[in-house]
Amino acid sequence: MHSADRDLQALLDSYTSTGRERGLQLAVYKDGKLVVDLSSGIANVETGEKVTSHTLFPVFSVSKGIAATIVHRLVARGLLAYDEPLATWWPEFGCLGKEEITLADVLSHSAGMQNIPAGTKWADLADWSGMCRKLAESSPIFPPGTAVEYHAITYGWLVGEPACRVTGCDFPALLRREILEPLGLSELFIGNDQPWTLPISLLEEEGGSVDVPDPETPRSIPVWLLPLASLMNDPDAQRACMPASSGLATARAIARHYAALLPGGVDGVRLLDDEALNRVVTRHPPRLAPDVESGFGLGYHVETITGSTGGKIRSFGHGGHGGSKGFADIESGLAISLTKNKLSADPHAQEIIDGVRSLLG
């Protein structure tokens, strides 16, 4: 084990051995090569099963970045266009104030379609066609491009349905074709109708159901889905195809996806070229009003960090509820993913990421 591996393993173990975290995976690619692939702690507190590098973790919104990459690849081939209305490919969507909502509006969370439609139940979320129909029959909360509100769950259908319509594929098939097969991945799922062959981590989250005076009011995350750990421990939810929130993956698979977006790619595979990558990681897409605050590019959260030598590094990717992360730092050639099963707002994940950047950046 190299010194960086030893240091990072000790860091992971320091969290899991003290109970601050239960189970962790950390994977890092550097210039297209896997340089860190570590695990620590317990995958399932009920059985005592330990985390390995093959354990699948429900990663919630980390899957948004995966979905975005699929869309970007279709744009690069001319099948979709960022500035075209969704109704171009999804005609029945173009009504009730949604006529001008573009693909870029959805990718930048400025479409005004963040709320799950009233009357939706859990069974509806697993019905792709039904949810697309509900969204097509809904009105935006605000005019597109005038505000940014996180589309926590609706994002998946809003970016996924146009992709499915122009290709004739369902979303799991698109995932296989655009990402899994080119990269030789078998540890990343958004929807699965086959028997699981890998262990799945059990999520833990403090808190129970949420008591609010108006539980039927449409929200981006309905109160009846809370706590989200219970949702994604449910076998039906793990199999459901909700590209905004239902991904299951290993840290290694997520990091490989991001490494393949960087210059040089992975094993000869590059998912986007430089021009396409530069466009999608530009913060504050032009459609947004100048006074609207945004941390998003097109489908990814983007930021500029200061490298160890003082230079500026563009970073892009997506985190998930409870702390899982997947992202890439362009100028340093790092692609990093952390998965975890004890969901919290504690800064542990960022502390681990900072440790990676310090050692390898």
Residue 61 annotated as catalytic: yes
Residue in 61, 63, 315, 337 annotated catalytic: 61
Cα–Cα distances in angstroms (integers) from residue 209 to residues 72, 121, 144, 240, 342, in the given order = 37, 16, 32, 22, 17
Which class for 311: exposed (0-12), middle (13-18), buried (19 or more C-beta within 10 A)? exposed
Alpha helices in the chain (DSSP H): 3-16, 62-76, 103-107, 122-125, 128-136, 154-167, 171-175, 181-183, 228-233, 235-239, 251-259, 274-280, 348-360
d(CA 23, CA 20): 10
Question: What size, in residues, is the chain?
Answer: 361
C-alpha dihedral over 338, 179, 186, 344, to 10 degrees? 20
What are the backbone angles phi and psi of residue 167, rounded to the nearest 5°? -105, -20
194 contacts: CB under 8 Å, gap ≥ 6:
none
d(CA 74, CA 72): 5
Q: Are 242 and 236 in contact (CB under 8 A)?
A: no
Catalytic residues: 61
